[in-house]
Amino acid sequence: MAEYKWPEAEKRKYIGKRISRVDGPLKVSGKAKYAYDINRPGMLHGKILHSPYANAKIVSIDTSAAEKMPGVRVVKLVQGPGTTVQWAGDEIAIAVAADEQTATDAIRAIKVEYERLPHVVNDEKLEAVPAANKRTTQEFVQGEPDKAFAEADVTVEGYYGNAIITHCCLESHGQVVEWTDANNVLIHPSTQAVSSISNDLAKALEIPAGNVELKMDFIGGGFGSKFQIDRWGTECGKVSKMAEGKPIKIMLERDAELTIAGSRPSIYAKVKVGAKKDGTLVAWQSEGWGTGGVAGMGAPPLPYMLRTASGIPNIKANFSSVSTNTAPSRAWRAPIHPQVAVITMGALEDLAAALKMDPIEFLKKNINLFAPRAEIYSQELDKAMELSNWKANWRPRGAGAPGSTKTVKRGLGVSMHTWGGGGHASNCDVTIHPDGSVDLKSGTQDLGVGTITVLNIVVAETMGLPMEAVKIFIGSNRYPASGSSGGSTTIGGISGSSRRGAVDALNQLFAKVAPTLGVKPEELEAVDGKIRVIASPSKSMTWKEACAKLGSQPITVRGVNRAGDRELSSSGVGGVQIADVSVDTETGIVKMNNFYAVQDCGLVMDLKTAESQVFGAMIMGVTYSLYEERIMDNNTGRVLNPNMEFYKLAGAMDIGNMKVHMMTGKGYDERGPVGLGEPPTNSPGAAISNAVANAIGVRVPTVPLTPDKVLAALAGKKGGQSNAKI
């Protein structure tokens, strides 16, 4: 009889192996259809008029010219006169026309009169932010920080921070919505929440939730920004109704995507850390601030990983939330972790440099503060040292690693990180058909992490079938509900539900065929396309023969994974990354030489897509460490770079050489699958920033480490001088 628990390593045929993603061929051939690609019969196009001002009252709106334009079908206000818009890019009106050009002309013809109000759009210079826009969100104390600093042998003060970045999904936010009749709606969205956003649309359209059908085969990036129906989604449904139910496509233009469709909060902090002569970390103090837009932000946990009972014994951490006239932030791949890693691991590296200690030696000295993952980090630090040949390549700060020249300095930096990643609630239906075919249906989504592939692996592995024998259907709210893909919860969740569903379905099949084989169901196993008796494997029947016993009725079983279920998956991972960079001290340009990641995710389900996740996080990390930044203009209150030439992403050859090592085996496999999307995103900023400090002998305080900041730090100018004072 099949059991839920994951098979032992020697019995795994697909789990943990390098399996190519099963939807790969559709994607490389252009056949994968995204919301942006949906063309429905008679479809119209909607365009959004956005506010040009960051803080303004709408005095009047004149849509008459737009309405009169030939080809325009609907002009609808989203926010009417009297409303105050609080960020540039907020939606004012929508125009719908037969083609995109006409709809664009129509929104240009809408005349809006605004009464402008003062705005605040930048927060790095906290002293320049009006008091009304600041509030204290955290005053944390642990132990006796003042006393501990007085007694510390070495104290280092520094300034560290992170500029705001955006999600910059390549498929912008949007959807196609149509009314299939007077009461029913069909939506093709781009969403991370297949099983939930249809409910929000139904509510907004005042129809029962079951009257909304949602279909999404593929999504072109989300990274935390696509959990909501969004106002452009509900408005799309409303204008479709006004256009007598016609399908309407509204996808955000690139400038809107980069302005309103999601950003990661800034976090800055002035930090003081203290240690004993031997490197024992004794005290932390931070004054932090940051913004997530109009609503400000919460209270990030500083110091990262170390604010626990077993962490740094003496801590004082204050935080101020800044409210700015910018679009609200959204969850960005590992919310808050990358930013607090830059601050914490940067300060610790500066402390190690002041102590004249190798930073890895320093981390190992304090490894018990990183409970409960001290052992995992120790193993990972060793592995990362080996991969990077740390001992041969690392040199004390400013000494220049081997290969440095008079003007180009090489340096190495390290960081560690954690994340939860326990599986979410997930349901699926597993069906074994009398003809031997097998399918699984679940209202989940594949953001590119390999959801479809992992579901296929689990069912095929469980039933002893080839991958091709199993068909996976996802991306519909008409399938059993499954959690949103956020917080690295998907693989843990869907692995649990699919395993249980597949095992239960298989056991029902065993019960059907056991009499024929003359044994009890619990004496059977499914291996290599056969159902066979465990004790005498020659007594068997083929999968097809077995399924034929079902007669005309297929077996369908609901597989369930409950939130917080830790039987088949668990939560909490550790990772270590080492960056190796070269800095041109004449131009300030930082180049990646090598980048190493050692990562734990419990039981690896598919080694190929798991490594891809880590590579992807590292590349995204190079991007936020060196290139990307949302730049706000104080005068106009607008984003200055809402396009892809000035909002910079790393290119294929900007990333240096990369190596990923997944931790597997004892201590890892038995924890079951743990989510992997977020964790490796957390360390790159800190590792790269530390590598740059190691190379040039001075901290460049904030990421991205753009040439201007590197040169300023080198010149000891403001913004670069505050660090590493003993």
Residue 468 binds another protein (CB under 8 A): no
Residue burial 545-580, b: 16+ Cβ < 10 Å; e: rest: ebbeebeeebbebebbbeeebeebbbbbbbbbbbbb
Which residue in the set 7, 52, 529, 616 belongs to the binding site for another protein (CB under 8 A)?
616
Q: What angle do CA 355, 163, 685 make, to 5 degrees?
A: 45
Candidate ranges 296-304, 369-377, 650-658, 699-707; the one touching another protein (CB under 8 A): 650-658
Is the Cβ of residue 25 or residue 81 nearer to another protein in the bound state?
Answer: 25
x-or-dash pattern for another protein, window 488-507, by CB under 8 A? --------------------
String of contacts with another protein for each residue 199-228, x by CB under 8 A: -------------------xxxxxx-----
Length of the chain: 726
Q: Name the helix (H) or strand (E) containing 161.
A: strand 154-162
Question: Binding-site residue total for another protein (CB under 8 A)?
Answer: 76
Token output for 14: 């697909």
Stretch that binds another protein, among 39-47, 80-88, 565-573, 717-725 (CB under 8 A): 39-47
Counting contacts by CB under 8 A, is residue 467 touching another protein? no
Q: How far is the CB of 383 from another protein (least distance, A)?
A: 19
Other Cβ atoms less than 10 A from the Cβ of 375: the count is 14
Place of tokens 């479709």: 240
Of these, 7, 24, 52, 572, which contacts another protein (CB under 8 A)?
A: 24
Q: Residue 29 interacts with another protein (CB under 8 A)?
A: yes
With H, G, I as helix, E, B as strand and everything else as coil, classify residue 50. Answer: strand
Least Å distance, CB 620 to another protein, is: 5
Among 340, 620, 695, 696, binds another protein (CB under 8 A): 620
Instruction: Give least dist CB 630 to another protein, A.
Output: 15
- If one asks whether residue 331 binds another protein (CB under 8 A), the answer comes out as no
Quickly list H helices, 483-576: 490-517, 543-548
Helix axes 607-626 and 684-696, enclosed angle (nearest 10): 50
Instruction: Indicate which single residue of 185, 243, 401, 412 sits in contact with another protein (rule: CB under 8 A).
Output: 243
Verify binding: residue 596, another protein, rule CB under 8 A: no
Q: Provide the minimum distance between the beta carbon of 191 and another protein in the complex, in angstroms, as a whole number.
A: 13
CA 601 – CA 495 distance, rounded (Å) = 13
Question: Could you tell me which residues are beta bridge partners of residue 660?
Answer: 597
- Apex CA 652: angle with CA 646 and CA 656, to 5°? 110
Site for another protein in 93-122 (CB under 8 A): 98-102
Question: Which of residues 98 and 589 has its CB atom nearest to another protein in the complex?
Answer: 98
Work out whether 64 is an interface residue with another protein (CB under 8 A). no
14 binding another protein? (CB under 8 A): no
| Region for residue 544 given its phi and psi (left: phi exceeds 0; alpha: psi -120 to 50; beta: otherwise) | alpha
Residue 183 lies near another protein (rule: CB under 8 A) = no
Give the other-Cβ count within 10 Å of 314's Cβ: 21
The mark string for 621-640 relative to another protein (x by CB under 8 A, - otherwise) is --x-----------------
Hey, what are 699's tokens? 């901290």
Q: Which of 6, 14, 34, 390 binds another protein (CB under 8 A)?
A: 34
Residue 424 host element (H or E)? none
Instruction: For residue 171, state whether it binds another protein (rule: CB under 8 A).
Output: yes
Nearer to another protein (CB atom), residue 258 or residue 547: 258
Residue 222 vs 464, nearer CB to another protein = 222
User: Which of 389, 612, 664, 722 is in the footprint of another protein by CB under 8 A?
Assistant: 612
Among 9, 25, 62, 478, binds another protein (CB under 8 A): 25
The amino acid sitting at 255 is: D
**Minimum CB distance to another protein smaller for 25 or for 667:** 25
User: Which residue stretch of 118-126, 493-501, 530-538, 604-612 sits at the interface with another protein (rule: CB under 8 A)?
Assistant: 604-612
Q: Does 170 bind another protein (CB under 8 A)?
A: yes
Asked if residue 69 binds another protein (CB under 8 A), the reply is yes
Rounded alpha-carbon distances, angstroms, from residue 142 to 284, 287, 306, 309, 596: 10, 15, 11, 9, 34
Does residue 182 bind another protein (CB under 8 A)? no
* 438-442/470-474 β-pairing: parallel
Closest by alpha carbon to 710, among 587, 622, 613, 570?
587
Residue that has been written with the tokens 């080198």 in this structure: 714
Least distance (Å) between residue 171 CB and another protein: 5
Q: Cβ distance 330 to 263 under 8 Å?
A: yes
Are the C-beta atoms of 94 and 233 separated by less than 8 Å? no
Q: Does 244 bind another protein (CB under 8 A)?
A: yes
The structure tokens 């009106």 sit at 93
Considering the complex, state which of residue 30 and residue 551 has its C-beta at the smaller distance from another protein: 30
559/425 Cα distance (integer angstroms): 11
Which stretch, 41-49, 83-91, 107-115, 702-710, contacts another protein (CB under 8 A)?
Answer: 41-49
Give the residue with the Cβ less far from another protein, 23 or 124: 23
Could you tell me the smallest distance in angstroms from the CB atom of residue 168 to another protein? 6
Distance (Å, rounded) from C-alpha 357 to C-alpha 366? 12
Longest CA–CA separation in the chain, Å: 84
